[in-house]
Structures are given as structure tokens and as C-alpha cells.
Amino acid sequence: MVKSHYDGSDASGVLRDSAQTSPTSGGYDALIELLPIGVFRLDPNLLVRSFNPAAAELVGLSATEVLNRPCKEVLKCSFCRSDCAAVEARDEGAVRRSFPVEIARADGTRRSVLIDAVPLEDGSVAVMLRDVTESERLRQALHDRWVFHGLVCVSPSMKEVVGKVRDVAPYDSTVLILGESGTGKEVVARGLHAESPRAPKPFVVVNCAAYSETLLESELFGHVRGSFTGADRDRRGRFELAHGGTVLLDEIGEISQKIQVKLLRVLQEREIERVGESRPRPVDIRILASTNRDLWREVTEGRFREDLFYRLNVFTVQLPPLRERKEDIPALVDYLLQRLAERTGKKVRNVSEGVLATLLEHDWPGNVRELENVLESGVVRTRGDILQEIDIHRRGSMTATETPSKRMEEALRRTAGCVTRAARLLGVHRTTLWRHMRETGLKREDFLQG
């Protein structure tokens, strides 16, 4: 147990150096001591100069073990670099709020905390620590409930999709997955495979639209040596490579009539013939197919075999477009940002209210794939831990209801040219707004009220 009073502290138990002591500071120090959150002060060199009991309890050290030591030795943060909250507060003179890190306690355990850093007049920084370990655990538990093998399922329509996946996954039934480009058809297929008894075996994806007829035939069925120019050895196709597992035929609506006939035999007989060979080879596979086309229309117009359609359409999963399930967007943003943080190493943990409003307004013709691309572009560009509107609007390919320049103009007009208030409306730092005003030629004077 950490001692409530420290060697070198005043009677209140708050550790502080004598240079900061004043006759009027007693009440303030007593308040800091009683706060349930950790509070300490760093000098301009990031040495710890004061430390309240809650901070000591959180890190598992007594104040005498902390005084005059570098912050990084005390907290052992997971994110201790030049752009940490305390450094930015000291160097930029700006408050940093809710900066998420993990700290290592003296006993070796780790805690999830949020850091607030406030610059002080003498160049030092006041730092507040809030322990959010339990809330993060609960958040992860909630995350596990609404993410199913990469499918975010908050909306009723997506919960229905997940229910269908769970229903059909244990069986070898062929599944036809329908949906617009970018809705997550391959994610559904992977979920089906992962929930099936075939999960330990291969999951093989074939993009049927990526090959010519000849190449697709060889890719799926394999070939024997000498069957065509360049075939200098026998080669197994994807169906054989997936033996015991699952094959996803993506963009199944793109295959030719010749391949359709050969695929029909695979579905009926569970055997294949390599190109240039007449000997049938048995294959133990489950076939899934996906397309963004209206396959029945393809049948009625003579481009797709009706018998193959019925063989594929044993069980259908229809994925709704993102514009019809916008209640999933906040959860999708959270899930995708976690993935992007792992991929990029950048600790972007959330989006501003303005960004979320923009994402909810957009129609998403590219669906979840487009949303992920927008977020990734913003994560790469941003310098903070909260994605701001300017970060996503700098990605020119995203259609928004207004251009960034128009949004800045409107914010400046509403605030009568007050850059600080306009920046707050836009969800960006005022220096960021000043920079973009210079880049776009906007002048504060043009918005001042006469």
C-alpha cells in the first residue's frame, strides 16, 4: 500500500518543491491531494516535481521514489515519444485532453489511462491521469458482441446477416453472397469458413473477374504438362489446393458459359478434371460464391445458366449497402480505427463530432471499403489523436455536402471572424485553421462585422 504521506511533502501530503510553495497554496494543495484522479507536475525538462496520492496509487510508487525522476521512468508509457501529451502541451502551449496510453506499474501490471496535459506559465506542465482500465475492458467486451469475424452488426439488417451466417455455417451447403461492391462479401465468406467444421483447412479466394477464360480455367482446375503453350509441368488448381476447406468464387457473374458448365459438374459431382486431362479427380470442398450483379437477371437475359444459378443459390445472404445501415457507422469507425492504428502505428483513437456528422451524411457509393479508405487517408494525414474534418476533406475523392473551403467560410461567418471559435466549430486547432485559411486565401478581416 502506498503511504498517504510522503517524505519531503508538506503537512497535506502533497509532494512539491519549495520553489513552488506560497502562503496561499495550502488550500489548493489540499484539494489536489483529495482528488480521485492522479495529478502531478513536470518541470520543463519533464522531471516530476509533485505527485498526489492518487497518482502514487496508480503507478504503485511512493512519492519519494518519484521526485526528480524523468516522467518516462515513472510511467513507462506505451506511447512515450516526442509527440506525447506532455511534450506537446509544453512546446505548443496548448491543452491536450484525453490522450490514451498504457502505463506500467511498479509491480509489472499495466493500466489503461487517459492523460490530460495543461501548460503552466513557468514552462512546466500539469498532468492528470484517469484510470480507464475497467471501462476499456467493458468496451472491449461490448466490441466483441457487435463484431463477428470482421462484420460490424449493430443495425437489425446486419444482425440478420450474422444470424444467417451462424445458421448455415455448420453445413456444407453452397452459399450465394449478394451485395454491392465494398459491402463485405469476402468478410462474410471468411466468417462462414471460420464458423464451419472446415475452419482448420484452407480458405481459398478466386476473383473470377481477374482472369481471361483460359487462365481462369487453369487457375480453378489446374492443368497437365503440355496441355497448352507454356505448360511445362503439372499444376494443381485452386479447387485441389482447397481440398478439405472452402473456395470463394468472387464475382461469379463474370464467368463464361464454358466455365459455367465445368463449375456445374464440380457442384454436382464434387470432382474436377485438369486442363488437358480426362481423368476425374475427387475434391472435398465447400463452394461459396459472391457477386454484385443481379444473377437472376443474368439468367433471364441468357448470360448465366439457370441450372448453375439454382445450384449456387441453395442459401442466400444479401448484404445491405452502407447507406441503408448508417446506425453501423459509429461502430464501424471505432472498429476500423483500431485496425488502422495497428497497421500504421498511429494512435488515432476517435473522430471529432464534425467528422462523424460528415460520415453520417455521406451516401457511400463505395460502401465499407470507401469508408475504410477515407479513414485511412485521414489517419495518415492527421497529426493528432482525434481525426478532424480537415483531415478527411483533404482527401479529394470523398464527396461531401460542402467543400472544406465552404465549411471554413461558414464557420468564420457564424463567429464573425473569430478564428478560435471557428476552429472549435470545425473541430480543429486554431493553428490548423490559420494554416488552411492561408492556403485557400481566406482572410479573417472579410468576416468581421462592421
pLDDT given at position 438: 79
Q: Would you state the pLDDT for residue 411?
A: 78
**Mean pLDDT across 435-439:** 76
pLDDT band for 329, please (50, 70, 90 cuts).
very high
- pLDDT score at 6: 34
pLDDT at 324 over 90: yes
If one compares 322 and 144, the residue with the highest pLDDT of the two is: 322
> What's the whole-model pTM score?
0.62
Per-residue pLDDT tens over the stretch 9-52: 433 334 444 344 444 445 666 777 778 888 989 999 989 998 88
Residue 322 above 80 pLDDT?
yes
The residue among 184 and 112 whose pLDDT is bigger is 184
In CATH terms, the superfamily for domain 18-131 is PAS domain (3.30.450.20)
Mean pLDDT of the region 106-130: 87
User: Does residue 108 carry a pLDDT above 70?
Assistant: yes
Residue whose C-alpha cell is 444479401: 318
Question: Between 161 and 3, whose confidence is greater?
Answer: 161
Q: pLDDT value at position 90?
A: 86
Average pLDDT of every residue of the chain: 83
pLDDT interval class at 251 (50, 70, 90): very high
Query: Does residue 164 register a pLDDT over 90?
Result: yes
Class of the CATH domain delimited by 143-320: alpha beta
pLDDT at 407 over 80: no
Residue 224 pLDDT > 50, yes or no?
yes
Average pLDDT over residues 204-222: 91
Please check whether the two domains, 143-320 and 324-447, share a CATH topology. Answer: no
pLDDT band at 353 (very low <50, low <70, confident <90, very high): confident
Q: What percent of the chain has pLDDT over 90?
A: 36
Looking at residue 426, its pLDDT comes to 66
Comparison of pLDDT for 392 and 295, the residue scoring more = 295
Least reliable range by pLDDT among 132-136, 260-264, 386-390: 132-136
Where are the chain's structural domains? 18-131, 143-320, 324-447
pLDDT in tens, 409-432: 877 887 888 888 787 666 566 666
User: What is the per-residue pLDDT for 208?
Assistant: 92
Residue 245 confidence (pLDDT) above 90 = yes
Q: What confidence tier does 122 reach under pLDDT thresholds 50, 70, 90?
A: confident
Question: Which of the listed CATH numbers 1.20.120.10, 1.10.10.10, 1.10.8.60, 3.30.70.930 matches domain 324-447?
Answer: 1.10.8.60
Mean pLDDT (whole number) for 149-155: 89
Mean pLDDT, residues 136-145: 60
pLDDT for residue 403 is more than 60: no
